[in-house]
Structure 1
Amino acid sequence: MASPGLVGRLLAILEPLAAERGIDIVDLEVVGSGKAPCVRVRIDHVDEAAPTITLDEVAEQTRWISAALDKADPIEGAFTLEVSSPGLDRPLRRQRDFVRFAGNRVTLKTVSGDRSRYTGLLRGWQDGRVVIECDGEQFSFAPDEIASAKIKPTF
């Protein structure tokens, strides 16, 4: 697992360039071993009214993402780049994500505490905290208490 510092550096490289292109970096993670890491970038349109990003658009956006990472060279040695759409279980990481997807079922994992996993209805963002209704109760978390949050698709 990559350090939060590396993920932050990669986001700092890509997010401004993505915004210029009308693209949102939904999520970024670095997985795998230090000798052969994989950088996974999930992208979508910034415009919430736009349809979900297509496979052709992902392929097109991959070119500038790859070029930007090659130019900045933030990872020592070779790495694999995977660029994709956010998928049905879209990760949520920023205030605007929690506001936009309020009303959806989500799975939320916390970094510590008596209980580390919550599945319920996302109520949104209130007073700087993520609010989720789970098991008939409301819980709120500061962003730094959240290890991960994803939409939980219902079929």
Structure 2
Amino acid sequence: MSENRPTHTGLEGRIAEIIMEPLEAQGYELVRVQVMGTETPTVQIMADRADGASFTLEDCEAVSHLLSAVLDVEDPIDSAWTLEVSSAGIDRPLTRVKDFNRYAGFDARIELNFPGPGNRKRFTGKLVDADAETVRLRLEKDEIVELKRADIRKAKLVLTDALIAFTTQPNVTN
């Protein structure tokens, strides 16, 4: 697993593989690919600016035009589909090691693919840190759990006043 890139599997992994290099070449980073729906699926791409500046409407347009062209050529989906490009937002999904570490000290919800420590699948607590293999989360009563990144189904920040204050500071990616 790469520290600066999210991990995807299946169709989402194929799409991430197709778009990663063109996206990075234009100064953006992939946060997440999600394919929703079956008949006419929506391909949702969340991105950040590599320079750490806020992701603007103009960035959404630029990424959308770039990825539309790339995906039209590669055609990873057999049927008609819709492309949706957005910023990760304030209560963003956590998909990369750098995301977990950047938001250390903030509240997060993490859901595992199958039961982990304490035979639980869902955890809410303060992010401690992460490395290529593990995310550490401080639960109530100061208990720290170690969760395998490979087992994480989804993780996202919890919207709090502290998070809003942090993300509205200059030079902070939203």
TM-score strictly above 0.5: yes
1:62-85 superposed Cα distances (whole Å, 9 cap, x missing partner): 100111111100000110111011
Aligned partners of 1:37, 1:127: CA distance in 2, in Å?
31
2:23 matches 1:21: no
Partner of 1:82: 84
2:155 matches 1:149: yes
Matches within 5 A, 1:55-74: 55-74=57-76
Give, as a single letter, the amino acid of the residue that structure 2 aligns with 1:39: V
Highest relative contact order (Cα 8 Å, sep 6+), 1 or 2?
A: 2
Give, as a single letter, the amino acid of the residue that structure 2 aligns with 1:99: N
TM-score (norm 1): 0.90
Partner of 1:118: 123
Instruction: Please state how far the C-alpha of 1:89 moved relative to its aligned partner.
Output: 1.4
Instruction: Please state how far the C-alpha of 1:59 moved relative to its aligned partner.
Output: 1.2
For the structure 1 residues 80 and 131, does the alpha-carbon distance in structure 2 shift closer, same or farther, using more than 3 Å as the test?
same
Aligned partners of 1:127, 1:81: CA distance in 2, in Å?
30
For the structure 1 residues 78 and 125, does the alpha-carbon distance in structure 2 shift closer, same or farther, using more than 3 Å as the test?
same
Please, what is the CA RMSD of the aligned residues? 1.5
Aligned partners of 1:60, 1:112: CA distance in 2, in Å?
38
2:56 matches 1:54: yes
Instruction: Please state how far the C-alpha of 1:101 moved relative to its aligned partner.
Output: 2.0
For the structure 1 residues 23 and 127, does the alpha-carbon distance in structure 2 shift closer, same or farther, using more than 3 Å as the test?
closer
Structure 1 stretches (4+) deviating beyond 6 angstroms? Answer: none
1:138 to 144, 152, 155: 144
* Number of residue pairs matched by the alignment: 150
Structure with bigger strand share is 1
Q: Secondary structure at the match of 2:160?
A: coil
Aligned partners of 1:47, 1:149: CA distance in 2, in Å?
23
Instruction: Please state how far the C-alpha of 1:104 moved relative to its aligned partner.
Output: 1.7
Q: Secondary structure at the match of 2:21?
A: helix
Gaps of 5+ in 1: none
TM-score (norm 2): 0.81
Partner of 2:46: 42
Aligned partners of 2:101, 2:16: CA distance in 1, in Å?
21
Aligned partners of 2:36, 2:9: CA distance in 1, in Å?
12
